Structure 1
Amino acid sequence: MAKYTFEMLPLLLEKIEVRLERIESLIQTARSKDLNDDYLSAKQAADMLNFTLATLYTKVCKGEIPSYKKGNRLYFSFVELIEWIEKGKKCTVDQIEQKAYIIARNLEKSRR
């Protein structure tokens, strides 16, 4: 367990407050999301991804993030954003070794 000094408390409380606000925002987004409506506004998507609106718009302009445009409005699919996040997953060394083993085994079988 980490040891904290009295002088560290204001900074720690500030960090806790920021994280709590993020959690509350995610909960609010989840609650406001209708089960039949899996599309988010730009603000909701930015909150979900913990981006500023400017960062979100930049990623949209560069084609880095899936989005929909209807008139002057941008929409984001909740499911597609989750998939986009998951595509950025970094594999562990064990997972890479396991994939390499499977590929090597399949190559051996195909050569026989």
Structure 2
Amino acid sequence: MQKETVTFDKLPEAVGYLTEQVIELKKMVAKLQPQPSDKHVLVEIEDACRIIRKAKPTIYTLVRKGLLPAYKKGKKLYFYEDELLAWIENGRRKTAEQTYEEMLANMQSGVRHKPKSSVQF
């Protein structure tokens, strides 16, 4: 059916074939989609305090500075548990070796050479 020329008489067959193909594609795409995590739960500030083990004023400060992922609806702040856990994990301190390598790379990228003069004596 793929290489045949579609005529008016074969149109219902072609539409049926295409419908089946679309259904199969939808199933394959659905399998590729990430499944919702059990940790993707909306929590309020009290639960956020418990999860990241910080006081309310500290959480308000981190949200105000844009460091902590939060959602505001009206006067209330909401958080997703998995985002809070990811925030904690991303805040891991680097080892001295990683810090030294970054510092060396920054120094090397910032090196500027004196331009050669075009005037010759």
TM-score (norm: length of structure 2): 0.45
The structure with the largest alpha-carbon Rg is: 2
Q: Which has the higher helix share?
A: 1
TM-score (norm: length of structure 1): 0.48
